[in-house]
Amino acid sequence: MRYAREMSLPEAPKRYTPMTRAFRLGLFVVELGVLSSFAFALMLFISSVVQTFVTLRNAISGLGDEESSQKLLVSAIEQADTLLVATALLIISLGLQSLFIGRIEGLPNWLNIRTFDDLKGKLLSVIVVALAVKFFSFASEWKGGMDILLLGGTIALVILALAVYGGVLERSSGKYKSEEQDDAREE
C-alpha cells in the first residue's frame, strides 16, 4: 500500500487551443527557415572550399604570369564574397534559432543573440563588409571609365544609410537597456 502512495498518477494530456496550435505551427515553420538558412550556409562554405582547390590547382601552371595572378586575385575576392554571404546565412540561422526555438550552447560570445536588434546589428556588419568586398572585386577588374564612381557612390550611400540605421538601432537598444537597469535598481 505504501508503494501505491509514492507513485504519482500520469497527468492528463494537455488540450491546446486553436491559437496555441497555430503558434506551434508557426514555430515549426521558423525551424524550417532555420534549417534552410543553415543548409544554404553549409553548402556555400563547402562550395567555396571546393572552388578554392580547383582554382589553386589551375593557378599552379600559370604561377608568375600576370594574367594568372589577376585571375587568382579575382577568384580570392569572389571567394571572400561567397564566405561572407555564407556567414550572413549562418548568423541568420543561429539568430532565429536563439530567438524563436532555444539558445544553442557553446557558441562564441559574439554569436550570442538575445534580441532581434542583436541579430540585425550582426547582419548589418556583415552586409557592410560584403559591400566593400563587392566593390573591391569590381575595382580589381575595372578597365577605366566613370562606372566605378557610380558604383562606389551607390555603395557608399548604402553603407551610410546602414550606419545611420545601426546608430539609431544602437541608441534605441541602449535606451532599452538603461530602462531595464533603472527598473532593476528600483527593486
Domain edges within the chain = 31-181
Q: For position 181, what pLDDT does the model report?
A: 52
Distance CA 58, CA 64 (A): 13
Percent of the chain, pLDDT > 70?
85
Cell of 11: 497527468
Q: If pLDDT is split at 50, 70 and 90, which confidence band does 177 have?
A: low
Distance CA 105, CA 88 (A): 20
Q: For position 183, what pLDDT does the model report?
A: 47
Higher per-residue confidence, 1 vs 138:
138
pTM metric for this prediction: 0.69
Q: Is the pLDDT of residue 71 over 60?
A: yes
Higher per-residue confidence, 178 vs 6:
6
pLDDT digit string, tens, across residues 7-46: 565 665 677 788 888 888 888 888 999 999 999 999 999 9
Cell of 107: 557558441
Q: Which of 161, 156, 89, 157 is nearest to 119 (CA)?
A: 89
Cell of 171: 541608441
Q: For position 52, what pLDDT does the model report?
A: 92
Q: Is the pLDDT of residue 1 over 50?
A: no
